[in-house]
Amino acid sequence: MTDQPRSKSDKGGFAAREGALGLLSGVIEDQEQLSDLLRGIGPLSGLAPADKARAQRLALTTLRNVGRADALISQYVDRLPPVAALNVLRLAVVELIVEGEAPHGVVDSSVSLMRRSRQSRKMSGLANAVLRKVATEGSEIWETLPVPSLPKWLRRRVVHIFNEEIVQSIEAAHLAGAPVDLTPKDTGHAEAIAAEVGGKVLPTGSVRLERAGQVSGLPGYEDGRWWVQDTGAALAVKLLAPEVDETVLDFCAAPGGKTMQLAAAGAQVTALDISKARMATVQENLMRTGLQAELVVADAMEWEAPQYYDAILLDAPCSATGTIRRHPDLPFAKRGKDLDEMFALQEAMIDRALIALKPGGRLVYCTCSLLTEEGERQAKTAMARHDLTEIAPDPKALGISPDWLHPNGGIRLRPDYLGECGGMDGFFMISLRKPG
């Protein structure tokens, strides 16, 4: 972070660059998640909306390319500088090589950013020399650099689960980033919505935007005909297959995409989540879409259900390792140290959810994780504990390939699936029936 207050005016993009540097420092140095840094008074406070958007985009792109940026910088220094100075260089390299920004403005801003921080002000000359070389010859070297790898703590696990070739495909999907997917309120209007917003309908029924932009300015946003939701996440509700007037509990509801899917299908939905702030967002989205659900702010492990539910959707807290393509800060903010606690919480949540499920009812358990301990293994042990049986998914009805079905049950989604049109988040999901 810089030590001097930022200028209120953005001269040549400086304010956006300074904001992006603040985000990078928070993630890489302080191991904070980007979502937390974007709330309240953070590195982007005081910036104009356009500058905030540019700063966030630049930080995301830099986080995806940290490994490549370091490899390129290493070509011009004997050893990498301390992290405060290195983050300035990383940001500038991505602007020059990936974003194609004019070298003069990038180099000058980077030198200024170096000088504004006590930790890096002595390295402003280094920044000037390195970045001028990057501007003239860096692009050619960049094309030869390998795709950034997953962090060691995660890569070892994922290679063991899949194989080296698949992991390389996943890493390529992470580098490519994530397009924006929309879930239509009325599934029959997907083609019309795609034509209006400049997108295409995926086999799963989601609408994928062809190019990024301000989502709230697109046709259909204000009148609530769709909401933003990755196609992988949207499949969980399709797997549950809610029916009209069924009572359904969305066990960990925020940010609410699945709650709206359930309500749009005609179910009587109770949405439960511990976060009051995140549930306020759910309420706003329900109002925008004209959908209804009962919202309950409570700890799921303590809340006493007032009734038995026909079906329950449990999108459990997890490592979120399946969402790195859209959240490249996660490998820096999470180091795998709390995984055992997460596994135990997921197991407890399954047990807790089943208490509220009527005999013969359906439970869809899902996690946006690449780790079998959070998916396949949790399902297997839950089935043994509670004598649950799997409701076999229909790939055709879900719009997925039969190859995505796991041999031992459930559906395993990977970031490299649908790779020809932008990929999808990694998920595990399974539909289970309670004994009747």
Residues annotated as catalytic (active site), given as ranges:
368
- Identify whether the C-beta of residue 138 lies closer than 8 Å to the C-beta of residue 72: yes
239 Rama class: left (phi>0) / alpha (psi -120 to 50) / beta:
alpha
From the list 64, 12, 54, the residue with the least C-alpha distance to 329 is: 64
Task: Compute the distance between CA of residue 368 and CA of residue 324 in angstroms, rounded to an integer.
Answer: 10
Query: Residue 200 CA to chain centroid, in angstroms?
Result: 21
Q: How many other CB atoms sit within 10 Å of the CB of residue 30? A: 12
- Identify whether the C-beta of residue 366 lies closer than 8 Å to the C-beta of residue 430: yes
Strands 309-315 vs 247-250: parallel, antiparallel or unpaired = parallel
Cis previous bond, 306, omega within 30? no
111 residue type, one letter? V
Query: Residue 86 CA to chain centroid, in angstroms?
Result: 25
Greatest Cα-to-Cα distance within the chain, rounded to the nearest angstrom: 73
DSSP class per residue in 192-238:
HHHHHHTEEE-TTS-EEESS---GGGSTTTTTTSEEE--HHHHHHHH
**In the numeric block, which tokens belong to residue 275?**
């976060």
Task: Compute the distance between CA of residue 164 and CA of residue 160 in angstroms, rounded to an integer.
Answer: 8
186 residue type, one letter? D
